[in-house]
């Protein structure tokens, strides 16, 4: 931490602040400027009481952190790109994956058709929500346990890996029995208790960025997973809420690039929830690949018009091959060093 004192602080005041800093467990290094004196407090903030309390001291102008709030997720800690294994398939560190499937598991037939269609195009990790976080309590909430059984059947028949969302702590154990990767949705990105409990399942976690979380908060949320027993995180940008209404959410491609620089974990994008409309999914997917994404998670449904959730944004699964063909050259170009 750097403690900036108010201009023209007296020697007495400087000593007073330095003494408090020392008492809190840090070594104070005093640097005197023409107007300002700053004290560099040397010591690990995670092991001592925070120096933030000095912000309220009348002689202190501001207290600035130099350490990032996330360590295990950071590239400083682990400079090389990490790859994450979902079932038998890798993502990150040069392994690009397209994860696809319907927004929600609606029936065995629906899930089987979606899986069969996207499998044919090369997709090996399937998505599908058995538990859905819906804005309205009157909307379809997911099939629950029955939905998980359908996902299990897809694994058995196609040999695919499965990713599905956890919306509450009570479902974690049940989901962990089936899921190769647990999804934490945008609405729960900063649900710290859920992060802590999901981490204990010791499965890879796909962590969506919350619709109003900063990159810093998103990576700090990933840190919650990492300090609680999860060793593999996939970060997913899915659009943030801005003043713009032409898209469902604003795909923050800048955040993809920043997250890639800041963290060693794979960063993927969800163009479906950013777009909100099927005809925008492809351009947003291309933009995400251009920004350095390690993969995509895309909604595909056999009969989007009659989907129980997110009908407008789901690609017809029988046409998913067109999407895959269109992104292929972008993946090739962007994977070149
Ligand atoms: C989903 O993936 O179906 C979903 C609910 O996404 P998000 O959490 O990004 O809204
Ligand atoms: Mn959805």
Give the Å distance between the CA of 185 and the centre of ligand 1. Answer: 5
* SS3 of residue 309 by DSSP: coil
* SS3 of residue 122 by DSSP: coil
Contact 206, 230 (CB under 8 A): no
239 CA closest ligand 1 atom index: 9
How sure is the predictor about 65, in pLDDT bands with cuts at 50, 70 and 90? confident
Note the pTM of the prediction, 2 decimals: 0.92
Contact 51, 27 (CB under 8 A): no
Residue 335 has pLDDT above 90, yes or no: no
| Residues lining ligand 1, Cβ inside 6 A | 103, 129, 133, 185-187, 208, 238, 270, 273
Pick one of 3.20.20.70, 3.30.1130.10, 1.10.630.10, 3.40.50.410 as the CATH number of 84-335: 3.20.20.70
CATH of domain 2-64: 3.30.70.1140
Nearest to 291 by CA among 240, 252, 234: 252
Give the pLDDT confidence of 208-261 residue by residue, as tens digits: 999 999 999 999 999 999 999 999 999 999 999 999 999 999 999 999 999 999
Domain boundary assignment for the chain: 2-64, 84-335
Cα atoms in the 13 Å half-sphere on the side-chain side of 305: 0
């Amino acid at each position: 931490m750097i403690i900036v004192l108010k201009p023209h602080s007296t020697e007495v005041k400087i000593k007073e602040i330095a003494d408090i800093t020392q008492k809190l467990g840090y070594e104070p290094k005093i640097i005197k400027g023409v107007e300002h004196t700053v004290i560099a407090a040397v010591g690990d903030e995670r092991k001592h009481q925070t120096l933030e309390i000095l912000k309220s001291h009348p002689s202190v102008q501001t207290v600035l952190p130099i350490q990032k709030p996330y360590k295990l997720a950071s590239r400083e800690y682990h400079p090389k790109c990490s790859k994450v294994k979902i079932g038998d398939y890798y993502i990150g560190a040069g392994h690009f994956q397209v994860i696809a499937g319907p927004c929600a598991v609606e029936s065995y037939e629906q899930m089987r058709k979606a899986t069969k269609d996207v499998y044919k195009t090369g997709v090996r990790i399937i998505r599908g929500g058995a538990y859905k976080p819906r804005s309205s309590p009157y909307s379809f909430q997911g099939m629950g346990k029955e939905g998980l059984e359908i996902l299990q059947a897809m694994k058995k028949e196609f040999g695919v890996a499965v990713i599905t969302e956890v919306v509450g702590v009570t479902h974690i154990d049940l989901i962990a029995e089936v899921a190769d990767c647990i999804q934490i949705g945008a609405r729960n990105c900063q649900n710290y208790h859920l992060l802590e409990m999901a981490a204990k399942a010791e499965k890879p976690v796909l962590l969506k960025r919350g619709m109003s979380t900063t990159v810093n908060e998103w990576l700090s949320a990933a840190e919650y997973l990492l300090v609680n027993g999860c060793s593999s995180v996939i970060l997913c940008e899915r659009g943030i809420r801005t003043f713009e209404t032409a898209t469902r959410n604003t795909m923050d491609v800048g955040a993809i690039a920043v997250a890639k620089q800041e963290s060693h974990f794979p960063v993927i994008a969800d163009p479906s929830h950013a777009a909100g409309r099927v005809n925008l999914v492809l351009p947003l997917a291309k933009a995400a690949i251009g920004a350095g994404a390690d993969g995509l998670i895309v909604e595909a449904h056999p009969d989007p018009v009659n989907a129980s959730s997110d009908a407008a944004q789901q690609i017809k699964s029988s046409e998913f091959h067109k999407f895959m063909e269109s992104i292929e050259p972008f993946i090739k170009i962007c994977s070149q060093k």
